[in-house]
């Protein structure tokens, strides 16, 4: 989501003459687009600001200024504190305010002190954003939904990103067509709670399943993905899209967080561990080659050894091609941060290692299972070696292959020859030798 937002900020700034550069030193403006989801991410902001302060001073010595801005969810949650701790920052603005960047810049350059904009404006920012600029590569992000109304007790998202909002179908479709005309072969639909999508269509609200089916009609759009989903909101239409829409990739990131019902209740997740097992089964029934990815939190307040073992059991039962796992991180203002039965750091570390050992083994097994099979790979960049291209499998695995440059941007069937720790290697094949997936 932050990658998408950063690109859109660049689009807003382009008419003012700003172009993106690779390094901060010498830049006229530096925007840190920040994440508040866990403490570690939020802490990085202050250390990075220390470094940027020196670059800003150097730039000022040459007689030219540097506008220093903090954007995103840390700005939203801690705007005032940022200005106290880092008074050399010129602008602080939240994820709902970046369409007002031109106005903020003119206020900041009039040198009236720092500009703070962490409102949730009534007018949706999407109405004020220009069309996305030039695409790098062949895969694009498209935000269709923002915010979250679920209030998981560990999570800051409802406070930083605000209430759920869905963009109208016509607007999403127009942006998708623009992206495809600009070279996108793959679009990932984004939302903090993307399957809560209920955008205005020509005959009432449309859900995500129907939106996907509509986008699949766009000529030249070969792959559709969406992230991130909330299990209790996967509906029949979305499962139907996995069955009926071949462009929808058979890979789904579906965070479960825990396998213990007691903990899921304390997290306010609105699904049980068995609900998740059943949902995984229904999705795989609809699309037999579907593979799952997930998020896990270990050491949520009150989590016992038995609760943690229930999570390990769920991992064994469901099996994941890939997963992210985190130690519970208390976030200011969330209900779980105030609970007294916090789990000691040592226990969290030990549980995370055990969980990651299992998830890592499943990932290796999944990758190994791909060897000898043919997978369609979207070749999207040059490899490090001459004559080599790198692409993505349906399961987001990086695949290296010897292939000519003119195949960049094509989806090619590759026979997978070897699985490495974090990637696969393959060879071009004439046809699909084997349509089965590795799952
Ligand atoms: N729906 C969001 C979730 C983002 S957070 C999205 O757009 O992807 C991604 C993951 O971070 C969550 O699924 C959860 O596993 C983890 N997470 C969120 N809050 C956390 C916390 N307080 N401590 C540890 N992990 C957390």
- Cβ pair 90, 108 in contact under 8 A: yes
Q: Which atom of ligand 1 is nearest to the CA of 190?
A: 7
Give the whole-angstrom CA distance, residue 8 versus residue 1.
11
Q: 438: pLDDT confidence band, cut at 50, 70 and 90?
A: low
Residue 81 has pLDDT above 90, yes or no: yes
Residue 128 has pLDDT above 60, yes or no: yes
Whether ligand 1 lies within 6 angstroms of the CB of 257 is answered as: yes
Residue 415 has pLDDT above 60, yes or no: yes
The CA 38 to ligand 1 mean position distance, Å, reads 8
Residue 310 has pLDDT above 90, yes or no: yes
Q: What is each CA distance from 432 to 222, 243, 415, in whole angstroms?
A: 17, 20, 8
Residue 435 has pLDDT above 50, yes or no: no
Mean pLDDT of 203-221: 98
Mean pLDDT of 191-214: 97
Of residues 53 and 123, the one with the higher pLDDT is 53
Q: What is the pLDDT of residues 316-370, one digit of tens each?
A: 999 999 999 999 999 999 999 999 999 999 999 999 999 999 999 999 999 999 9
Query: Which range among 44-48, 121-125, 315-319 has the greatest average pLDDT?
Result: 315-319
Indicate the pTM of the whole model: 0.94
Q: What is the pLDDT of residues 372-390, one digit of tens each?
A: 999 999 999 999 999 999 9
The CA 425 to ligand 1 mean position distance, Å, reads 31
Q: 422: pLDDT confidence band, cut at 50, 70 and 90?
A: confident
Whether ligand 1 lies within 6 angstroms of the CB of 154 is answered as: yes
Mean pLDDT of 179-208: 97
Name beta bridge partners: 424. Answer: 399, 419
Question: What is the chain's mean pLDDT, rounded?
Answer: 94
- Cβ pair 117, 94 in contact under 8 A: yes
Give the whole-angstrom CA distance, residue 168 versus residue 338.
38
Give SS3 for 374.
strand
- Choice from 208, 326, 331, 348 to test ligand 1 binding pocket (greatest atom count within 8 A of CB): 326
Question: Pairing relation of β-strands 67-71 and 29-34?
Answer: parallel
Whether ligand 1 lies within 6 angstroms of the CB of 155 is answered as: yes
Residue 338: per-residue pLDDT: 97
- Whose CA is closest to atom 21 on ligand 1? 329
Residue 282 has pLDDT above 60, yes or no: yes
Of residues 286 and 114, the one with the higher pLDDT is 286
The CA 161 to ligand 1 mean position distance, Å, reads 13
Residue 436 has pLDDT above 60, yes or no: no
**Alpha-helical segments (H) within 90-130:** 101-109
The CA 257 to ligand 1 mean position distance, Å, reads 8
Whether ligand 1 lies within 6 angstroms of the CB of 14 is answered as: no
Give the whole-angstrom CA distance, residue 327 versus residue 330.
10
Q: Which atom of ligand 1 is nearest to the CA of 253?
A: 8
């Amino acid at each position: 989501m932050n990658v998408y937002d950063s690109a859109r900020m660049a689009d807003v700034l382009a008419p003012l003459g700003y172009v993106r550069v690779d390094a901060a030193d010498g830049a006229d403006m530096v925007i840190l687009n920040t994440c508040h989801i866990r403490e570690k991410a939020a802490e990085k902001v202050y250390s990075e600001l220390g470094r940027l302060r020196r670059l800003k001073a150097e730039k000022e010595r040459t007689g030219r200024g540097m506008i220093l801005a903090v954007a995103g969810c840390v700005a939203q949650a801690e705007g005032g504190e940022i200005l106290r701790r880092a008074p050399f920052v010129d602008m602080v603005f939240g994820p709902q305010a970046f369409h007002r960047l031109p106005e903020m810049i003119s206020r900041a350059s009039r040198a009236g002190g720092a500009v703070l904009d962490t409102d949730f404006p009534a007018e949706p920012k999407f109405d004020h954003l220009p069309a996305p600029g030039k695409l790098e590569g062949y895969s694009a992000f498209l935000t269709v939904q923002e915010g979250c109304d679920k209030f998981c007790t560990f999570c800051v998202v409802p406070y930083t990103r605000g209430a759920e909002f869905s963009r109208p179908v016509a607007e999403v479709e127009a942006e998708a067509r623009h992206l495809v005309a600009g070279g996108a072969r793959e679009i990932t639909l984004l939302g903090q709670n993307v399957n809560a999508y209920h955008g205005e269509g020509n005959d009432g609200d449309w859900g995500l399943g129907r939106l996907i089916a509509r986008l699949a009609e766009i000529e030249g759009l070969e792959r559709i993905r969406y992230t991130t989903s909330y299990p209790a909101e996967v509906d029949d239409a979305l499962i139907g899209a996995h069955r009926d829409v071949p462009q929808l990739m058979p890979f789904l990131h579906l965070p479960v967080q825990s396998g213990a019902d007691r903990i899921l209740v304390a997290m306010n997740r609105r699904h049980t561990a068995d609900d998740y097992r059943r949902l995984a089964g229904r999705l795989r029934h609809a699309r037999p080659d579907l593979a799952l990815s997930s998020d896990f939190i270990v050491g949520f307040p009150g989590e016992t050894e038995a609760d943690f073992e229930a999570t390990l059991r769920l991992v064994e039962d469901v099996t994941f091609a890939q997963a992210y796992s985190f130690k519970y991180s208390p976030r200011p203002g969330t209900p779980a941060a105030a609970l007294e039965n916090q789990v000691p750091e040592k226990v969290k570390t030990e549980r995370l290692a055990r969980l990651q050992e299992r998830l890592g083994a499943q990932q290796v097994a999944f990758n190994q299972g791909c060897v000898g099979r043919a997978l369609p790979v979207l070749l999207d960049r040059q490899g490090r070696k001459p004559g080599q291209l790198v692409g993505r499998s349906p399961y987001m695995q990086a695949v290296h292959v010897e292939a000519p440059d003119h195949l960049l941007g094509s989806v090619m069937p590759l026979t997978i020859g070897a699985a490495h720790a974090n990637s696969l290697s393959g060879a071009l094949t004439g046809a699909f030798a084997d349509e089965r997936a590795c799952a």
